Structure formats: C-alpha cells, structure tokens
C-alpha cells in the first residue's frame, strides 16, 4: 500500500475502523482471512515497504477491488493483522505450557513461553516492531500503536492470575504486564542485533527474577492496604 499508484485507500474516520465485515457467507469469511494472511506474509517477509495492495492481493489470490471492499484503509487492514498476530501468539503460548496456579510461577512460565516463541518467530517480532514505528511516524495513525500495546498488556495481564475478575488483581496484572513488555521488547532487539544467545538467556533469567519480585511487592502492598 506504499506504492503511489496504489494509495487510493483513504484513512479511517477514527480509531475504531476495522474494515468492512466479511458478511455471513463462508466464502466472505475465507476471503477476509486470505487477505489478512497475505498482508501478514508481506509484512513479515519485506516490512512496511512491501505492504502494497498489489502484493497483498496477489498473495491472497483476490482482485484489488475485492481487497478494497473488505479493508477500506491501510490502518483497518493493519489492525486486523495485529489481531491475527496476537491470536497466533495466544494459541502458541497455550499449547506450549499449562500455566501454574501460583501468580509468581505463572509470570515465570509466561516469560519462558514468550522467549521460546520469540526465538522461533523472528520475522513476526520484527514485523510487530515495524508496525509500531509505522503507527508512531504516520500522522493520524498513532492510535494503532496505542491499540497494539494495550492489546499486548491485556494479553499478558489477563494471564498473570488464574482468575482476574477482581479489579485490584486486574490492575496488578496489567502493571506486571507493562514491565514484562519493557523487558521483553529490549531483549528482542538486543538479541537480534548482537546475536548472542547466551547473553539473551541470561537477560531472560534476570527479567524473571525482577518480575517475580515486582509481583511479590505489588501483592504485599495490596495486602497492607486492606
């Protein structure tokens, strides 16, 4: 969607734009899934510069007009891609490990599962970083970066406790999730840049120690405030 000849798609009217619904037909749903898959492949293989409507349509096996019907803006398609990436991550995590009941142990298991996932999904990790930078650099698209990080925080925060229906536990879960993301994001970039797996493994162990301690402190503060 970066080619001059392919910039007829307008930006969404607001941060809730998500593209037109696929409709109730099975064919419509399958077409939408193919378009999202084509966009993901373009983003993961070539970055934002490769994310053109022509390439996505070719990868999805649809006409340009069909792509424009389902996604009337670049941002609405990127939001769908983001949601698909997070769904893929959640499936991978849940298949990777059964989370323990104890919150500190759950945090450790989450970080370890995250690190295993990161190691086998290099292109996805870089694509998500590029998506963030695109949103921050593009006027009017900043909401997409906020949506992206809130989705990550919600994802991790929801998994910190076995039952997070309590408002205070949800707050603590999100606080831990924010700190986890700070550490994980830094380790991702440093790991890919330095290509030192041993050092990155040490960093993961340090992050686990820090997050267990941080969660312990937040729970103790909650107990004292009662």
| pLDDT number for residue 115 | 95
Burial 13-29 (b: 16+ CB within 10 A, else e): eeeebebeebeeeeeee
User: What number is the average pLDDT over the span 206-212?
Assistant: 98
The tokens describing 202, both together, are 């040490």
Provide the whole-model pTM. Answer: 0.81
User: What number is the average pLDDT over the span 103-130?
Assistant: 94
* 146-176 pLDDT per residue, tens: 999 999 999 999 999 988 889 999 999 999 9
Distance CA 173, CA 159 (A): 8
Average pLDDT, the chain: 87
User: What number is the average pLDDT over the span 184-197?
Assistant: 95
* 8-49 pLDDT per residue, tens: 333 333 444 445 555 558 888 889 999 999 999 889 988 888
User: What number is the average pLDDT over the span 84-99?
Assistant: 86
| pLDDT number for residue 19 | 54
Query: What's CA 215's distance to the chain center, in Å?
Result: 23
Q: How far apart are the first and last CA of the chain?
A: 54
Report whether 76 contacts 177 (CB < 8 A): no
The tokens describing 184, both together, are 């994980």
User: Which residues have C-beta within 8 Å of that of residue 224, sequence separation ≥ 6?
Assistant: none
Report whether 177 contacts 156 (CB < 8 A): yes
């Amino acid at each position: 969607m970066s080619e001059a000849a392919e910039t007829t798609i307008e930006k969404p009217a607001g941060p809730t734009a998500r593209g037109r619904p696929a409709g109730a037909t099975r064919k419509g749903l399958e077409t939408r899934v193919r378009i999202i898959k084509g966009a993901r492949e373009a983003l993961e293989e070539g970055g934002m510069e490769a994310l053109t409507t022509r390439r996505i349509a070719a990868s999805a096996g649809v006409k340009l007009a069909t792509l424009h019907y389902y996604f009337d803006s670049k941002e609405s398609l990127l939001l769908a891609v983001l949601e698909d990436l997070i769904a893929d991550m959640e499936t991978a995590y849940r298949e990777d490990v059964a989370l323990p009941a104890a919150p500190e142990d759950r945090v450790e298991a989450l970080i370890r599962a995250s690190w295993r996932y990161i190691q086998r999904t290099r292109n996805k990790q870089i694509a998500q970083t590029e998506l963030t930078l695109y949103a921050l650099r593009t006027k009017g698209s900043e909401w997409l970066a906020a949506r992206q990080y809130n989705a990550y925080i919600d994802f991790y925060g929801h998994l910190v406790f076995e039952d997070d229906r309590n408002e205070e536990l949800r707050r603590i879960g999100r606080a831990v999730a924010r700190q986890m993301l700070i550490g994980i994001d830094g380790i991702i970039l440093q790991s890919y840049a330095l290509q030192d797996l041993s050092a990155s493994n040490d960093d993961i162990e340090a992050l686990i120690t820090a997050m267990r301690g941080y969660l312990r402190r937040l729970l103790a503060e909650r107990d004292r405030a009662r």
